[in-house]
Amino acid sequence: MPAGDYRAAKKNDVIAALAPYGFEASLVDDVISVPPNTRRRTSLKVKKQGGKAEIGFHARQSHSIVDMWECRVLAPSLVTLVQRLREMMTALLREGEAAELHLTQSDTGPDLAIRWSRKPGAPQTAEIARWAAKLKIARITSNGDVLFETAQPQIRFGNARVKLPPETFLQPTREGEDILQQKVVEIFKGAKSVADLFSGCGTFALPLAEQARVHAVELDAPMLDTLAAAARATQGLKPLTTEKRDLFKRPLTAAELNRFDAVLMDPPRAGALAQARELAQSKVRRIAYVSCDTATFARDARLLVDGGYHIGRVLPVDQFLWSSHIELVAAFTRG
């Protein structure tokens, strides 16, 4: 499919998701696509069969692994590493044994998390350490336990350097992340106090703290701790506070929200229904909504508009190349 037709098809998907909730097609901007070979994280299946490890993804509606020898989505460094991991997993796995590999390309090197049914003993841990040194992997964890680490994987958000906990959520590409960050910072220009809801480890909170006081709310304690540590270690930031809270079960109330000039939401695919209901009743002047699901975004956006907010342009950012998924960001303003 020609690139222009592909982007137009993705834009039409966004328009189709918004239409049932009464939003006009003219609200949706043209799609911005990230370049190929820029994805910096992936989860892969691996199984040893016939004396060799197969690494890749499950075939549709199957547990059979489609062995991956090339990928036009992943960063080249990760594609190369996957091929070397075949050797490592062939040596580590027993015949018929399976595992899951979570790979992230950090600024300090690859981060590998292994999920499997075994608990490595001392001999196998030593063997994994030898492979890590050979393949120049920064860290290897097994079922959440660190087995090897030469440098804690790090990512930069704005001026802050964030030390990543194992299996941390990140935006899939640096390029897409930059677009989203710039858009959010633009939406909140002039705001003096911001609530960052579903903050993760600081994708938006840390750049925003360069211009405003930020209160970051997140359920995952390790991500929240690493965000707070990065804020303390970064000079020139405005005050940044954190709060561990399940926003699905206990959203910030309208009264709590009214303390802030602006609110950012970046929820998982399930959206932020409970939080959107509270925002619709609040007096917050500006909202930025970042979403990776068009259906839940449209649902929550309708609640905000019915509560008196004006929706701005919806920007689709295609971080999920050649798939049905897309990222969205939009501003909502009151009065």
Q: Which two tokens stand for residue 2?
A: 């020609």
Q: Which residues contact 28 (CB under 8 A, 6 or more apart)?
A: 11, 14, 15, 18, 313, 314, 316
Q: State the Cα–Cα distance between residues 262 and 192, nearest whole angstrom.
A: 8
Q: State the Cα–Cα distance between residues 106 and 277, nearest whole angstrom.
A: 37
Beta strand segments in 69-197, E: 98-106, 109-115, 139-142, 145-149, 154-157, 160-163, 193-197
Instruction: Establish whether 71 is a catalytic residue.
Output: no
- One DSSP character per residue, 139-170 reads EEEETTEEEEESS--EEEETTEEEEPPTT---
Helix (H, G, I), strand (E, B) or coil at 335: coil
Residue 151, CA distances (Å) to 22, 43, 72, 146, 169 in order: 50, 21, 28, 12, 19
Q: State the Cα–Cα distance between residues 160 and 95, nearest whole angstrom.
A: 44
Of 292, 304, 321, 328, catalytic: 292
Catalytic residues, by residue number, are: 292
